[in-house]
Amino acid sequence: MNIYVLLKRTFDTEEKIAISGGEINSDGAEFIINPYDEYGVEEAIQIRDSQGGEVTVVSVGSGDAEKQLRTALAIGADKAVLINTEDDLEIGDEFTTAKILVEFLEDKEADLIFAGNVAIDGGSGQVGPRVADLLGIPYVTTITKIEIEGRNVNIIRDVEGSSETIEASLPLLVTAQQGLNEPRYPSLPGIMKAKKKPLEELELADLDLDENDVAAKTKTVDIYLPPKKEGGRILDGEVQDQVKELINLLHSEAKVI
């Protein structure tokens, strides 16, 4: 089984987000493997351990992502690939990342590709499905269980709190939802061994791409923090007056109607 896991380096869930100069300030912040991608890494390793094969983790990003790839190798992945866009791209979006990944994956004959349901930073949930679409293979999102028999795949996916059972076949891309498994901690000997595992670094040119091929399709207009949560207000008086006042407030103060 030839398994690939798409992995993103993201802010630690514990970090407080601060904005300075219109950009998210990452000074001194801790970074982690996107937790949904980590479910993918764990599941890929379990499948490899029971069915044989190889797990490759792939990340598109800056050189800093090497740490997260090394962690995935320490957890048990066999190989890692970092597609470093640091020098080539100022900005990118979901299209950019998907396009780069597809160029890389196209000739790899992957049987199964794991992505996260969403990344906890951008939260678009687009990259996985886009990659599958461009590769021309089926995909199933938000999976919580996967069983593989030969080329047949039985999946349970989370549908807004309920579950749906789906039969699919390889090759296939799936996106991991919380509940798929409990990711293990990297073992200390695993960390030492990870140093000796292959970590290949590529740039756009190695994939015969230039920056125009992958230029972002979207533009970031503004970045701001959500407004501070304030205490609620309780209206009183006759119900009719309360309704009138509520509509008035929604219109003039909250400006939502």
Partner 1 sequence: MSEDIEFLKKNVRDFVQTEVEAVAMQIEEENKIPERIIEMSKEMGLFGLSIPEEYGGLGIGMVGKCALYEEIGATHNGYTTLIGAHTGIGTVGIVEMGNEEQRQKYLPDMAAGEKIGAFALTEPAAGSNATNLKTTAVKKGDKYILNGTKHYITNATEADVFTVMAVTDPLKGAKGITSFIVEKDFPGFHVGAVEKKMGLRGSHSAEVILEDCEVPVENVLGEEGHGYVNALKILANGRAGLAARNLGSCQKILDMSAIFAQTRVQFNVPIIEHQAVSHMLAEMAMEIETLRSFTYRVAWMVDEGMKVIKEAAMLKLFGSEVYNRVADKAVQVHGGLGYIADYPIERFFRDARITRIYEGTSEIQKNIIAGQLKKDYSL
By CB under 8 A, name the binding residues for partner 1.
67, 70-71, 74, 184-192, 195
**In terms of CB distance, is 185 or 224 closer to partner 1?**
185
CB of 192 to partner 1, least distance (A): 7
5 within 8 A of 41, measured Cβ to Cβ: yes
**In terms of CB distance, is 13 or 218 closer to partner 1?**
13
CB of 73 to partner 1, least distance (A): 11
CB of 87 to partner 1, least distance (A): 23
Count of Cβ atoms closer than 10 Å to residue 199 Cβ? 16
**In terms of CB distance, is 70 or 157 closer to partner 1?**
70
CB of 8 to partner 1, least distance (A): 19
Q: Distance between CA 1 and CA 7 in Å, rounded?
A: 19
**In terms of CB distance, is 74 or 146 closer to partner 1?**
74
CB of 39 to partner 1, least distance (A): 16
- What residues contact residue 235 under an 8 Å CB cut-off, 6+ apart? 242, 245, 246
Convert 77-100 to b/e letters by CB count within 10 Å (16 or more is b): bbbbbbbbbeebbeebbbbbbbbb
70 within 8 A of 40, measured Cβ to Cβ: no
**In terms of CB distance, is 67 or 251 closer to partner 1?**
67
Q: Which of 171, 169, 148 is nearest to 47 (CA)?
A: 148
- Do you know the residue count of the chain? 257
CB of 30 to partner 1, least distance (A): 9
128 within 8 A of 140, measured Cβ to Cβ: no
77 within 8 A of 45, measured Cβ to Cβ: yes
